[in-house]
């Protein structure tokens, strides 16, 4: 009974921390309570608690953190930060009024960064800036 109480308290406390540590301890307490229900003595219940808690902390917690909190890995590869500075292929003539380029498999409206320049289909350009939904491009 004490193991179930410990598991419930740990789960409730985890709601306030969000670190997944107490959740792993709750898993250990839940397994220990199941071992206790099977009739095992207290020292075996304690060993079950320690083993499951340590394994959960070492294996499950890192996976969960990566799954729900992968900000560092994905932040650098999303949004305008990736588009600006990217290479692009001119698909339709790019001039001061209109144009179309392909950036990483996606089609973008484009204008030359220098309004006096013109780029023809097949030219390789670099995205200098993104203005709304329009890429401002430049050929080195």
Domain ranges of the chain: 2-69, 84-138
The yes-or-no verdict on residue 79 having pLDDT over 80 is: no
Per-residue pLDDT band at 74 (split at 50, 70, 90)? very low
Q: What is the pLDDT of residues 95-139, one digit of tens each?
A: 999 999 998 888 999 999 998 999 999 999 999 988 888 899 998
- pLDDT, residue 71, reads 56
**Cα 119 to Cα 126: distance, rounded to the nearest angstrom:** 12
Task: Write phi, then psi, for 15 (nearest 5 degrees).
Answer: -60, -25
**Cα 135 to Cα 66: distance, rounded to the nearest angstrom:** 33
Out of 2.40.50.140, 3.30.413.10, 3.40.50.11540, 3.40.50.800, the CATH code matching 84-138 is 2.40.50.140
- The pTM assigned to this predicted structure is 0.49
Q: What is the pLDDT of residues 25-34, one digit of tens each?
A: 999 999 999 9
Strand, coil or helix: what is 25? Answer: helix
Query: What is the average pLDDT score of the chain?
Result: 87
**Cα 22 to Cα 14: distance, rounded to the nearest angstrom:** 5
């Amino acid at each position: 009974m004490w193991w179930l109480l410990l598991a419930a308290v740990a789960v409730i406390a985890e709601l306030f921390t969000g670190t997944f540590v107490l959740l792993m301890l709750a898993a250990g307490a839940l397994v220990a309570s199941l071992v206790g229900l099977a009739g095992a003595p207290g020292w075996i219940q304690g060993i079950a608690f320690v083993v499951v808690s340590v394994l959960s902390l070492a294996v499950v917690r890192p996976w969960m953190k990566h799954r729900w909190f992968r900000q560092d890995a994905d932040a650098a590869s999303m949004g305008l930060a990736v588009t600006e500075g990217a290479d692009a292929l001119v698909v339709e003539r790019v001039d001061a009024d209109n144009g179309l380029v392909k950036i990483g498999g996606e089609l973008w409206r484009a204008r030359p960064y220098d309004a006096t320049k013109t780029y023809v289909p097949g030219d390789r350009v670099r995205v200098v800036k993104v203005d709304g939904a329009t890429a401002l491009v430049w050929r080195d």
